[in-house]
Structure 1
Amino acid sequence: MRRYILIAVLFTFILTGRAQQVRIEQEQIHIGDDPMEWLLKTDGTQYAWVTEQYQWGKCYYDADGGITVKSERRQEGDNIVETYTFTNTTKKRVTVKNIGIYTPFNDNYPDAKTCMTSRCNVHIWPGGKAAYVNAMRMNGVGPHLGLMVTEGEIVDYDVWERGAKKGMSNFRGVFALCPPDMTLKPRQSYRLQWRLFAHNGADFDEQLLRQGGMIARSDRYVYAVGETARVEFVTAKGTKTVTRKIAEGDNRVEYKGTHALLLGISGERELMEKRIQFILDHQQMMNPEDPRFGAFMCYDNEGDSIVTNYTRSDLDEGRERVGMGILLAAYGLNDKGEMRNEKLATALERYAKFVREKMQQEDYTTGSSVVRKSKNRGYNYPWVADFYFRMALLTGNKQYALDGYATLQALYRNFGYGFYCIDYPVITGLKALEQAGLDFERHQLLYDFKATADIFMKNGLDFPKFEVNYEQSIIAPAVQFLCEVYQITGAKQYLDGAKKMMPALEALQWHQPSYHMNEIAIRHWDGYWFGKRQTYGDVYPHYWSCITAAAFHRFAQCTGDNSYQLRAEQTVRNNLSLFFEDGKATCAFVYPHRVNGDTAKYADAYANDQDWALMYWLLVNVKLSRE
């Protein structure tokens, strides 16, 4: 099997800059007179590893015979139309596989200020004949760039140049769109054609339809087994509705060369309860001789055991694993307001003892593991505090409320008011302190929260760097936090601050017709940092997309705009695909066809940090009396 690369022929158009006209000049895409560069520079000046081999339109493939690829480009009004023709030049049948056409969109993260106006979030739908790319400027303000297939098919995509020394979590990679494998008869050709156009975000679907495209959509993408799903396939000429009785697992609903991908599960609550039971039965350290006794641990589905011997901090007994404790505490009360069962109560008490005595110092400095020399990581503090506050609400034990308060005071001592934490427990924490009768502590914590909110307001869209330069899990928690502070104080400036951030937050996700991607924010490194195979590349879905769901949920409560609540429900529902009917789970589904040439499209074997998705499912779907 040989691999061929052919340089596409590129024609340059010197065009007058109409506002929405897409043009390509010197290997760069522009829209009108907007200075935004929509493509990575492929001369090594932007990233040393992105060189001319990745130029727009270059093609690669594996073939068992002679193949030529012809590339053509023409201008049609404000749009550009490109055609790629694959031809068998031999006198025998030739099989062509692993085809990719490089489309190096400028999706990377030097810093928030640069990202807002000069980088794009790339949303790919490899939907066959109805495939498209929606590249949205990161601040959410148009014009944006679209690509739609008009002939042939795009069925997947590859990602290249990912790695520890190649941008790590601040570089999403070089994309290549993948036509299907094909077998061509002698002299036979296959044509792929797509159209590049500008749009303003809200009119993306309208433009697809107006230019002959098709859109698949469903009210939901995760259903209970036995339910009947309705999928609409919409064109400018009308709508075809296809119904399907849902079976367990993937349900691919097809029509005229495209599809929607639905998932069948036993039921939303049923799946959550299976997962919770699995955690109780299998993921708590039960060896009293182990210093991690009581901790909730990462689980290896391939080895059917918790992971005890590790050198990686992303597998330790602290950090994101605290999400399991928060989930169990949030789930703890039944519909009658009583503790669900003694087993759950015992597990939670054991975990609380572990957290206080092994992960925290006497002054509530919070580590990542029982090794006290571990990194003093800011994210640990709100998570542990959230756990304590939920334990206070669950048990009525005043000490847990004090522990939560003291943990947040330690956060502010160590990191000040400018840390963009995930899961600041604003409403939960203040409610727990109120119920515990801790009026002074509640007053002080509210002061701290408002001081933090004021810094978020001052920074606006100029988000500071943390473990990653810019990401969805910096902006989404900020929106959620400001909404919750507004709900507590009624001070309109905090809601106004959240509103200003919303376009940038919404630009991080789209509504592709698949449970993997619909209303799921872009994440592209979590398979490496938390997975067993340690593969960089897009993770769809990823549980931290549920932070956006929480932000949408709170925003809907603040504004009365129920469309955000519906989107929040879609996000947390689609994240249920991370959980299996036997109670096991996966921390990451690495979505691309290939990453750096290695086959991907797999669910990682580690059940590690994904249980946050269920905590957010409870937040979005269950109106708890304590909130």
Structure 2
Amino acid sequence: MRSKDFRIGVDPDSGALLSIVHPKDNASMSWIGGPETTPWQPVGSKWGLGYVDLGPLHRTFWSKPHIRVDDDRMTAAYTLDGLKVDVTRKLDQRSGSLDECYAFTNTGDESVVLNDAATEAFAIYAPFNDHYTSTEDVLENRAHAHVWAHGGASSWVKLTRMGLRGPHLGLVLTEGALAGYSIESRSVVTLSNTRGVFLLHPSVPDLEPGKSTRICWSLFWHDDWEDFFQQGIERSDQFLNVRSSSWTAIAGEMVNLTVSSRRGASISSASVDFAPGKQKGTYSGSIKTTKTGQQKITLTVNNDKTITNSTVILNVVPDIDDLIANRIKFIISKQQLSTDFSDETKAGAYAVYDNQMEDIVTFDTSSDRNTGRERVGMGVLIARWLQSNSDTEVEESLRIYYDYVNNKLQDATGYVHSWPIGSRTASLRLYNWPWVMQLHLQMAKLGNEVTTSHGNYTATPSQRLLDTVERFYVQGHANDYYPINVPIYEALTYFEEAGDDEAVQRLLALWTTHGKRIAEVGPNYPAAEVNYEQSIVAPAAIILLELYRYTKDEEWLDAAHGHFARLEAFSGRQPDHRLHDIGIRHWDGYWFGKDRMWGDTFPHYWSTLTGIAMHHYAKATGDDSYQARAEGILRGNLILFTKEGRGYCAYIYPTTVDGRKGGYLDPYANDQDWALAHILAIREYE
């Protein structure tokens, strides 16, 4: 199929789509997975195929149609046991769209409910081309898929080419409703570099014999988010663009909602009193938040007597300072191993906690669960908190932990070990080093410049920070690395205020060399533990922005703009507190969680790196809108904590992942405390 706007590859055997390409795209990028772009994708999960559960042990796939294809339209008719599936596709020259409809007809003698067993019992495959192969490939040939499938009638997908070159592909629902999405094809074979195959779950009414129901959507090209939302309103009677003053509110705050739809539509809700705005089709309303927890708000749209219901999802949390204080009390009382613990390599450490088992995890031998690495974030959080709060019990706990880091995670040369000293030999992991730098810096800022000993090495926290930074850059290729949380702006400011010009110059020389290397490399990011990801691009932007904020040298800001734009592309604008502005990540549940679940982790604490970058960008450019968005990202991660102080390492967002139920918090309290540390950090970065 082809038109001036689309070139579509069709599988003549299954009727599925193999590719969707813009005819004028020099890269001929396909926005969906197929044999040419994703050879690992299962044959049965091509675009537009699907399944329905018609009873116990009765999952039926549609894959063998009677098919007809013309230049600008096609039909594919699938006959199942008691159900007929008719798929129609049309390239509309006038609107420049690809319109798809899936009609489901009950050909049996009894009423059926296509998703009676569960949301995931009825699905249409939509394999968006969201994969991390190599930097060169992803920037031209892969797309971020920002999926909003829990929105009911106003469900949509906004795709953005990873390299930002438009136009980009959008999908908006024009008939029917969606109830969620799932992920398949995640395993130890595909690992972290593919987001998997998407399945969209229709929400449909009961079907009486002979009756039909339809799910329809329109695909179209757009330039950016504003263009996507505007076209969504123009192309669909049921599309809503919902804006909120806060997707995660603190109890007692007022939340203001603005909803835009097609002109002439009226919008109402049982939860919010909406009043018409100045523009037709726009309504505004406010909610006074009181009770904590997630709030689903149903929006009813009446458009020429056609009534549809859509959903947006807010969250309300308790006072943030109270939440952080309770989390810290939980850590020191339940997540610190005693100094006389039988395994001396763990004694005194902050450790992973299992919220189901109600105990510290000491038996898990995975590196991402040991007492080093990301777990240092608990110490950083506590040290930051103590700078504004006094608590002798917390102070003693931190003293024990700092001694543990100095003696079990770092040796006398300043080398940071990936495993506690004496437990096992491990290869160099440069990610760990800035986290230890952070801890030394926060201990120094506590004003506790007491010398501590390690064997023959005696030093203050300030000296340990300098030694750690300098030893970091002695390691091979450190300047080619994109480390998380290097404390450039904060450390330089600290030493300047302390009047230690020598330390400032030593650090600035090292970080200037590193920044110049990042600026020189530009968009040619090196692969790390994942080939291309939000937490590779984020450090590039942050390092350059922090250098600019300290030096005021415009070359750093100029070099940061491209990285910042590519970082921002990882973030969606769905009307859900778990998704809005939260960077795409989809492997952390497997590596850090108890259940070892692949699939989208929305939110995940490293998404706060985007918030850190936005904070520095706002300070660097004067654009305060990014400060508000930074705050929103940090608040979005508060779903990972309870008011009693429990932490959870990841929220597994999809309905299912490879058939396993999603939509829950993984039971391990592991590394999520960096999110709280970043909330306190932004207060200090002013």
Asked if structure 1 preserves the Cα contact closer than 8 Å seen for 2:248 and 2:636, the reply is: yes
SS in 2 for 1:518: coil
Answer with 1 or 2: which has the greater Rg.
2
Q: Residue 184 of structure 2 corresponds to which residue in structure 1?
A: 160
Asked if structure 1 preserves the Cα contact closer than 8 Å seen for 2:33 and 2:128, the reply is: no
TM-score normalized by the length of structure 2: 0.85
Could you tell me how far apart the structure 1 residues matched to 2:285 and 2:599 are?
33
Q: Residue 75 of structure 1 corresponds to which residue in structure 2?
A: 91
Verify: 1:148 aligned to 2:172, yes or no: yes
Q: Residue 355 of structure 2 corresponds to which residue in structure 1?
A: 301
Instruction: Please state how far the C-alpha of 1:245 moved relative to its aligned partner.
Output: 4.1
Q: C-alpha deviations, 1:208-258, integer Å up to 9, x for none?
A: 112232122211111233444333321132223344443221111111211
Asked if structure 1 preserves the Cα contact closer than 8 Å seen for 2:541 and 2:560, the reply is: yes
Could you tell me how far apart the structure 1 residues matched to 2:217 and 2:320 are?
39
Could you tell me how far apart the structure 1 residues matched to 2:39 and 2:567 are?
29
Taking every aligned residue pair, what percent have the same amino acid on both sides?
A: 35
Q: C-alpha deviations, 1:496-553, integer Å up to 9, x for none?
A: 0111222211110111111110110000000100001001000100110100100010
**Structure 1: which amino acid aligns with 2:350?**
F
Alignment of 1:34-433 (within 5 A): 34=25, 35-43=27-35, 46-64=37-55, 66-76=82-92, 77=94, 78-97=96-115, 98-126=121-149, 127-166=151-190, 168-180=191-203, 182-202=205-225, 203-212=227-236, 213-237=239-263, 238-246=281-289, 247-256=291-300, 257-289=309-341, 290-291=343-344, 292-334=346-388, 340-370=390-420, 371-397=423-449, 399-415=460-476, 416-433=478-495
**Structure 2: which amino acid aligns with 1:107?**
D
Asked if structure 1 preserves the Cα contact closer than 8 Å seen for 2:2 and 2:91, the reply is: no
Alignment of 1:494-509 (within 5 A): 494-509=556-571
Q: Which deviates further from its counterpart, 58-67 or 247-256?
A: 58-67
Instruction: Please state how far the C-alpha of 1:136 moved relative to its aligned partner.
Output: 0.3
Asked if structure 1 preserves the Cα contact closer than 8 Å seen for 2:176 and 2:204, the reply is: no
Asked if structure 1 preserves the Cα contact closer than 8 Å seen for 2:31 and 2:169, the reply is: no
Asked if structure 2 preserves the Cα contact closer than 8 Å seen for 1:23 and 1:80, the reply is: no
Calculate the aligned-residue CA RMSD, in Å. Answer: 1.7
**Structure 2: which amino acid aligns with 1:280?**
I
**Structure 1: which amino acid aligns with 2:51?**
Y
Instruction: Please state how far the C-alpha of 1:14 moved relative to its aligned partner.
Output: 2.6
SS in 2 for 1:480: helix
Q: Residue 118 of structure 2 corresponds to which residue in structure 1?
A: none
Instruction: Please state how far the C-alpha of 1:79 moved relative to its aligned partner.
Output: 0.4
Q: Which deviates further from its counterpart, 317-326 or 367-376?
A: 367-376
Could you tell me how far apart the structure 1 residues matched to 2:32 and 2:188 are?
19
**Structure 1: gaps spanning 5 or more residues:** 1-12
**Structure 2: gaps spanning 5 or more residues:** 11-17, 56-80, 116-120, 264-280, 301-308, 451-459
Instruction: Please state how far the C-alpha of 1:432 moved relative to its aligned partner.
Output: 3.5
Could you tell me how far apart the structure 1 residues matched to 2:204 and 2:402 are?
54
Q: Residue 58 of structure 2 corresponds to which residue in structure 1?
A: none
Asked if structure 1 preserves the Cα contact closer than 8 Å seen for 2:32 and 2:47, the reply is: no
Q: Residue 66 of structure 2 corresponds to which residue in structure 1?
A: none
Asked if structure 2 preserves the Cα contact closer than 8 Å seen for 1:586 and 1:603, the reply is: yes
1:152 and 1:434, CA in 2 relative to 1: closer, same or farther beyond 3 A? same
Instruction: Please state how far the C-alpha of 1:145 moved relative to its aligned partner.
Output: 0.4
Structure 1 runs of 4+ aligned residues shifted over 6 Å read none
Q: C-alpha deviations, 1:255-283, integer Å up to 9, x for none?
A: 12112101122222222222122112211
**Structure 1: which amino acid aligns with 2:312?**
A
**Structure 2: which amino acid aligns with 1:67?**
L
Q: Number of aligned residue pairs: give it.
A: 602
SS in 2 for 1:521: coil
Q: Residue 521 of structure 2 corresponds to which residue in structure 1?
A: 459
SS in 1 for 2:328: helix
Q: Which deviates further from its counterpart, 369-378 or 151-160?
A: 369-378
Q: Which deviates further from its counterpart, 197-206 or 546-555?
A: 197-206
Instruction: Please state how far the C-alpha of 1:111 moved relative to its aligned partner.
Output: 1.2
Asked if structure 2 preserves the Cα contact closer than 8 Å seen for 1:364 and 1:410, the reply is: yes
**Structure 2: which amino acid aligns with 1:66?**
G
2:8 to 24, 35, 38: 24
Q: Residue 67 of structure 2 corresponds to which residue in structure 1?
A: none
Instruction: Please state how far the C-alpha of 1:440 moved relative to its aligned partner.
Output: 2.5
SS in 1 for 2:178: coil
TM-score normalized by the length of structure 1: 0.93
Could you tell me how far apart the structure 2 residues matched to 1:228 and 1:453 are?
42
Could you tell me how far apart the structure 2 residues matched to 1:223 and 1:442 are?
39
Instruction: Please state how far the C-alpha of 1:433 moved relative to its aligned partner.
Output: 3.2
SS in 1 for 2:480: coil
Instruction: Please state how far the C-alpha of 1:605 moved relative to its aligned partner.
Output: 0.3
SS in 2 for 1:155: strand
